[in-house]
Amino acid sequence: MTTTDHAARAAARRSAKPGRKVLIRVKRCEGPGKPSRFETFAVTIERGANIISCLQQIAANPVTVEGTRTTPVVWDSGCLEEVCGACTMVINGKARQSCSCLIDEYAPAEGDVITLEPMSKFPVVRDLWVDRSRMFHNLKRLRAWVPIDGTYSLGAGPRESSDAQESRYKLSTCMTCGCCLEACPQFLLAETPASWDTSFVGAQAIGQALLFNSHPTGAQLKNERLEVLMGPGGVSDCGNAQNCVKVCPKEIPLTEAIAAIGRAATIRGFTRFFTS
Ligand code: SF4
Ligand code: SF4
Ligand code: FES
């Protein structure tokens, strides 16, 4: 977020009056393959209200502004503190976490409207809840873990510089939220798992491949990860539009990660050519 965005949001927070009514316009869908429609609800805003608290208010009394009783809106959430990524949805056209989205910043005046939609790159389960399984599948595809069995003590790990720890720490803050994939023109919706192993893995998985390739023990699987990333749906599918890095709520340097993995894949390609 830019300094201008921060300033605009702080100004909106200062001007917002508790007790005002705002309109929450929600894209509803009863299940996979079902048609969607919009419903609008009026909610009363108290200081500190966020999207989740508005959805809870709607769930307690699911009546639209037209006075029609409907079903409670369905959404996903877990930590409620921007750590698990589960509550990610498209808010006024941009994917972000609904638990940290303050109404005072988005709808500071009486009658303001906020539009909520599910992310478009993942299959809708119902309403605002999407199935993000493909992201976890991609982590498995890339063996994004440290290969130890954990059944006995291996003693102290290798020593590392604080710079190396710091750069890995940033990558480790990924919460698998999907914002980078929602913004990526190369990452497309796949309704079924049939194409998951050949379609673009996306910036999130590439960032995690770099995280584990940079880990002294995780690097044992470095070549296996690079082989997958050199194949169909790998790093060469990135079109370098750089949308991902602009929207990541954890400010993970995704384009740097993509470039680093691209270089490693090139070296791996040469090594393989000269040693095979
Ligand atoms: S840089 Fe690559 S991964 Fe990021 S948004 Fe663009 S195409 Fe997608
Ligand atoms: S890289 Fe950033 S935007 Fe992408 S899933 Fe991780 S936290 Fe979300
Ligand atoms: S509920 Fe976990 S990030 Fe919002």
Ligand 1 site, residue 243, Cβ cutoff 6 A = yes
Bridge partners of 38, per DSSP, are: 27
Residues 125 and 219 both lie in one domain: no
Residues 76 and 53 both lie in one domain: yes
Residues 267 and 140 both lie in one domain: yes
Ligand 1 site, residue 242, Cβ cutoff 6 A = yes
The rounded distance, in Å, linking the Cα atoms of 190 and 210 is: 25
Residues 117 and 137 both lie in one domain: no
Ligand 2 site, residue 130, Cβ cutoff 6 A = no
pLDDT (0 to 100) of residue 1: 62
Residues 78 and 149 both lie in one domain: no
Residue 270 in tokens = 């040469």
The rounded distance, in Å, linking the Cα atoms of 11 and 143 is: 45
pLDDT (0 to 100) of residue 2: 66
Residues 168 and 110 both lie in one domain: no
Ligand 2 site, residue 201, Cβ cutoff 6 A = no
Does position 6 have pLDDT exceeding 90, yes or no?
A: no
Q: Which of 188, 199, 247, 255 to mutate to test the pocket of ligand 1 (most atoms within 8 A of CB)?
A: 255
d(CA 111, ligand 1 centre) in Å: 37
Residues 123 and 154 both lie in one domain: no
Domain boundary, last residue among 73, 100, 129: 129
Strands 21-29 and 113-117: parallel
Ligand 2 site, residue 178, Cβ cutoff 6 A = yes
d(CA 25, ligand 2 centre) in Å: 26
Ligand 2 site, residue 171, Cβ cutoff 6 A = no
Lowest mean pLDDT among 11-20, 172-181, 196-205, 246-255: 11-20
Domain boundary, last residue among 101, 129, 157: 129
Domain boundary, last residue among 76, 107, 129: 129
The rounded distance, in Å, linking the Cα atoms of 195 and 1 is: 34
The rounded distance, in Å, linking the Cα atoms of 102 and 260 is: 36
The predicted model scores a pTM of 0.93
pLDDT (0 to 100) of residue 36: 98
Domain count, the chain: 2
pLDDT, greater one: 212 or 150: 212
- Backbone φ and ψ for 64, nearest 5 degrees, come out as -75, 170
Residues 98 and 138 both lie in one domain: no
d(CA 53, ligand 1 centre) in Å: 33
Mean pLDDT of 207-228: 96
Closest CA to 203 of 128, 165, 260, 143: 260
Mean pLDDT of 242-259: 97
Q: Which of 79, 135, 142, 179 to mutate to test the pocket of ligand 2 (most atoms within 8 A of CB)?
A: 179
- Backbone φ and ψ for 71, nearest 5 degrees, come out as -85, 155
d(CA 219, ligand 1 centre) in Å: 24
How buried is 5 (Cβ within 10 angstroms: 0-12 exposed, 13-18 middle, 19+ buried)? exposed
pLDDT, greater one: 173 or 167: 173
Task: Give residue 53's domain range.
Answer: 3-129
Residues 179 and 61 both lie in one domain: no
Ligand 3 site, residue 51, Cβ cutoff 6 A = no
pLDDT, the chain, mean? 95
Ligand 3 site, residue 77, Cβ cutoff 6 A = yes
**In CATH, what number is assigned to the domain containing residue 36?**
3.10.20.30
d(CA 78, ligand 3 centre) in Å: 5
Does position 35 have pLDDT exceeding 80, yes or no?
A: yes
pLDDT (0 to 100) of residue 4: 74
- Do residues 129 and 76 lie in contact, with contact meaning Cβ atoms separated by under 8 Å? yes
Residues 165 and 87 both lie in one domain: no
Lowest mean pLDDT among 4-13, 127-136, 175-184: 4-13
Q: Which ligand 3 atom lies nearest to the CA of residue 80?
A: 1
Among protein residues, the one with the nearest Cα to ligand 1's atom 3 is 203
Residues 221 and 263 both lie in one domain: yes
Closest CA to 130 of 99, 64, 85: 85
Among protein residues, the one with the nearest Cα to ligand 3's atom 3 is 82
Residues 105 and 158 both lie in one domain: no
